[in-house]
Each structure stands twice: as C-alpha cells, then as structure tokens.
Amino acid sequence: MLLYILKRLVTVTPVAFGVSVVCFLLVHLAPGDPLSAVLPADATQATIDEMRAAYGFDKPLPVQYAIWLWHVLQGDLGVSIATGRPVAQEVARAVVNSLILASVATLIGFTFGTFFGFVAGYKRNSLLDRIASALSVFGVSVPHYWLGMVLVIVFSATLGWLPPTGAGPDGSGNWRPDLEHLRYIALPAITMAVIPMGIIARTVRALVADILSQDFVEALRAKGLGEWGVFKHVVRNAAPTALAIMGLQLGYLLGGSILIETVFAWPGTGFLLNAAIFQRDLPLLQGSILVLAMFFVALNLIVDVMQTALDPRIERG
C-alpha cells in the first residue's frame, strides 16, 4: 500500500506542475490591465512603468512564471494589488470558510443522497423509487443560485427564521461551530447540498440496483444470510464508487461555489474570486485558483488511496 501511495505521488507531481502553468497563463491571457484597479486615471507613463516593474509585469511571461513559481514553492503567493495584503493570508481565511461550507454541504448531500439512493435501489419501480428519483432529478436540474435566492426570500425575507447573508452576527467573517453561527450556514449549505445530493442519489440507486441483481446476492440469501447481512455486502460493494463521487463533489463545491457564496455573501474562495475578477487583481486571482486546483488534485489522490484501501480488487501495481 505504501508503494502504491508513493507511485501516486509521483504521478501527481507533473499534474500539479501542469495545473500551475494553466493557472498562470489563463489569468495573464485575459484582457485588461491589472494595474487599472490601483492607478489613478491621470497616472503618468513613468508611474505606470514603475508600478509594472514593482509587480514584475515588465518581464516576459516565462520569466514571470519562473519567478512566481519559485515564490509559490516557498509559500509566497504575492501581494494583492487591490488591498496590499499578502495573498496567502487572504486565501487562507477564505479557504477555511469554503472548506467549512463545502464540508457541511457534502455531509448533507451525501447523507440524504445515500439514503434516497438506497431506498430507490431496494424499492425499484415502487412509489418510493419514483419519489426518490424525482428528488434526485430536481437536485441535479435546479439552478443552485436561483434556489438560493428562493430560500432567502422564503426563510429570511418572509418567515424571518434564518439570516440571509454573512458567516456570523458580528460580521467578522470567522465562522464558529455554535448555534448562532449554524443559523448563518444553514441556507448556503442546503443550497450547495442539492446538486451533490441528486448526483449521489442517482449513482447509489444505480449501484444498489446492479448489485442486488447479481448472482452472489442470491447465493448469500440461499445460504440463509439475513437481509442485514446482505445489506452490509451491498454497502461494501457500493462504497468505493460512492466515495469517489463524494470526493469529486467536495472538490467541485470548493471550486464552483462562486455564485452561491456571492448570493449569501459567504466570505469564502468563491466570494474572493468574484472580487478578484472584478478588480482585476492578478496575484489574488492566481493564488485563489492555484490553491483550489491543488485542493482538487489532493482530493483525487486521497480518494484514490481510500478506494484502494476499501476495495482489494483494485490493482495497486
């Protein structure tokens, strides 16, 4: 198992390098001048040239990339053009908030998605199956930003049960695991959980239906094994694929939550990316995208290792 992990780490290295190249080039090839956010409209050419030299924008792109990558490997993501604060501090605070929100949303989505999937798989072609399948299709199809606005209108504006925006009552942007802060995370977490719930429910439903139709299940029942024992075998066979889907969904939620975090003003990476895009803040944009991409690469690695540990049929060579 250790040898397999080392091999996977070796294969991840060129992927991480390629991700860094793509992050750097995509941001730099976008139109617009990043210094327009901090330079006054009447700035002289000498001032513009001085600022470009200060941020290293006067050098060729390969040189800029080499310098940027060297600093990144030392943990230095640069300084935000808009705020003047270190990008690493800005991204670290936002990543923690996004991880909290994505983890809660994944937990909700995985719990209900797995429940609906098993119910639909065990009760195929029944009313329960149709209800669970309809809920999963709704979860996959509904635009999450629209659902977020509907939830705000219903539970915040109309009923007044839950706060509409922010991460806490003090407005500091630091979420804490207490009852008051749970009220602030409820709406964005439920909104984010809808899509993974639908995907996991449909995946688990198909897996359970396929496993129950296999010959070894009939053999287990013929040997006198009870339904609880059969259920444990079904879970064991469905777990690796369900785990892979859950890991991918956590990665997607971390990187694809811009609209939801904007709707709920949640101070995470999506909200930070939105601000960096509109402010044309290249260091902040690069740092945010790179950290999110590395999280996704790390999640894939962790899921691969966990799949291999759970399912001995997966080749480790």
pLDDT digits (tens, 9 = 90+) for 191-213: 888 888 888 888 888 888 888 77
Decide if 34 contacts 281 (C-beta within 8 A): yes
Comparing C-alpha atoms, which of 300, 283, 256 is closest to residue 91? Answer: 283
Distance from C-alpha of 22 to C-alpha of 33, rounded to nearest angstrom: 19
How do residues 68-89 score in pLDDT, each as one tens digit? 888 888 888 877 877 778 888 8
Question: Which pLDDT value is given to residue 255?
Answer: 62
**Is residue 279 classed as helix, strand or coil in its secondary structure?**
helix
Q: Is 84 exposed, middle or buried (0-12, 13-18, 19+ CB in 10 A)?
A: exposed
Q: Give the residues across from 79 on adjacent strands.
A: 86
Task: Output the six-digit token pair for 296.
Answer: 């996704």
How do residues 266-317 score in pLDDT, each as one tens digit? 888 888 888 787 777 777 888 888 887 787 777 777 777 776 766 655 555 4
Side-chain-side CA neighbours of 16 within 13 Å: the count stands at: 17
Q: Give the residues across from 86 on adjacent strands.
A: 79
Q: Is the pTM of this model over 0.85?
A: no
Distance from C-alpha of 274 to C-alpha of 187, rounded to nearest angstrom: 20
Residue by residue, DSSP assigns 5-66 as HHHHHHHHHHHHHHHHHHHHHHHHHSSS-GGGGTS-TT--HHHHHHHHHHHTTTS-HHHHHH
Question: Which pLDDT value is given to residue 4?
Answer: 67
Whole-angstrom CA distances from 185 to 8, 153, 266, 302 are 35, 16, 9, 26
Q: Label residue 35 by pLDDT band (50, 70, 90).
A: low
Comparing C-alpha atoms, which of 311, 314, 189, 166 is closest to residue 238? Answer: 311
Distance from C-alpha of 163 to C-alpha of 152, rounded to nearest angstrom: 8
Distance from C-alpha of 273 to C-alpha of 276, rounded to nearest angstrom: 5
Decide if 296 contacts 250 (C-beta within 8 A): no
Distance from C-alpha of 213 to C-alpha of 234, rounded to nearest angstrom: 11
Amino acid, res. 253? L
